[in-house]
Structure formats: structure tokens, C-alpha cells
Amino acid sequence: MSMSGREDIDPAFLDGLPIFPLPNAVLLPGGLMPLHVFEPRYRELTRDCLEGARLMAIARLRPGYEAAYDDRPAVYPSCGLGRILASEELTDGRFLLVLRGIGRVRIESELPPVRSYREVRASLIADDLSRSPDAARIGHAHLLALCERLAMALDRGGDELRALCRDCSTPGTCADAIAAALIMDHCERQRLLETVDPVDRLERTAEHVGRLLCQLAPCAGRAMN
């Protein structure tokens, strides 16, 4: 699968989708997320996922979750759908996982507790282009140009950023993959996860890349704005 993070998903898998709630983690399409799984309920979740479709959703916990952490604290309804790319079970039963984001899902309802972990009925969130294809094309080109400037300004990692850009075949996947790699703020990542218009995601990601560029090479950053 390419770094676009997209693949065909059987909607039937989403009728009982396991969720892994985390306080400050947002899995964007095209991004990678390492996980250290140690709680018994999430060890069970991992084993079931590995025996099945290897799919789970990373659900960000809403503020105030601490009081109900051992139960079912509230999560944001928009989640990152991930597939387990790699797994290692340690001798004490813990797991080390790597997930790749493959899409956006919206929690429609939470299923009654049958297992120790939480399951939901979810639906895929598709991109919704509200502006013209030309706007997406222009935004895509602008983001790629900014990333090339950023790659030139970086002491290391520039070649990896260029390779990531080469794998971004569409405007939406470009915005997602670059945001997943460069944007660390959890609130901003959640906003991008909830943004269905790829042009809006391109613009928000370009703003972030522009700020990074201004920090590293102020003159070059101003020239690209």
C-alpha cells in the first residue's frame, strides 16, 4: 500500500469496530503510530484484531476523561481508522504495534459491552470537495512547493519529506500524509481529522509548513507566502 493511506474497506468490518481510546493521540490517514499495549483489555483487543481484519480505530478521549477512565469515558466521534502493520508480543503478554492510518470514521453508536474493550458501529467519512477541482490542484501544488522549500532548509530529513511528497497522488492524501508527519499538536490533528474538504486540509497544512519554514529560513518562508 502506498503512503496515501487509502485502501478499500469492507463496511461490514465497521459494524463492530474496536476502538482504542487514548488521551492525546490522533491517527491521520497515511500516518504511522507506534503503540505499547499493556492494559489487559487492550491486550484482548489486540489479539482479536490480529486474528481478524487487523483494524481498530484510535479514538481521542475528551477532556475530563480521568474520572471515568476505567469505564467508558467520552471520546470524539471522528476517529482515525488504522490497520496493524507490525506486531510483536512480549514474553509478559504486552504488545508492540505499528498502525497505519487508512481512513476516517465516525462513531454512529457504541455497542453494548460484550468484551473487555469497547466496540462501536462506525461509518467511513469520505472527502467532500466544496470548491472547484482547480482550487484543489492549486492548493496541492502550493503545499508541495512549500515542502520542497522546507526540505531544502532542513539539516536532515529532507529526502524523506521529498519521498513522502512523491507518494502523495491526490490533494487530500497529500494534506493528510504531510500533516501526519509534521503536525504534532493533538488539537490541530483532531481538527484536520474532522475536516472533510481536502482544500481546507491543504490550506491548514500549508499554513503549518509555512510557519516551520519561517522558523528555519525566515526569508524563504516570507517569499513563499
CA distance 184 to 175: 14
CA distance 179 to 200: 12
CA distance 53 to 197: 28
Average confidence (pLDDT) per 10 residues, the chain, 225 residues: 53 93 95 96 97 96 78 93 97 97 97 95 93 93 96 92 90 96 96 97 96 76 48
- Tell me which amino acid residue 110 is: E
Predicted pLDDT of residue 78: 98
- Tell me which amino acid residue 33 is: M
Query: Which CATH number among 2.30.130.40, 3.55.40.20, 3.40.50.2000, 3.40.50.1970 corresponds to the domain 11-124?
Result: 2.30.130.40
Predicted pLDDT of residue 1: 31
Give Cα 32 distance to the centre of its chain.
Answer: 8
Predicted pLDDT of residue 104: 97
How many CB atoms are located within 10 Å of the residue 104 CB?
A: 25
Q: Domain segments of the chain: what residues?
A: 11-124, 133-224
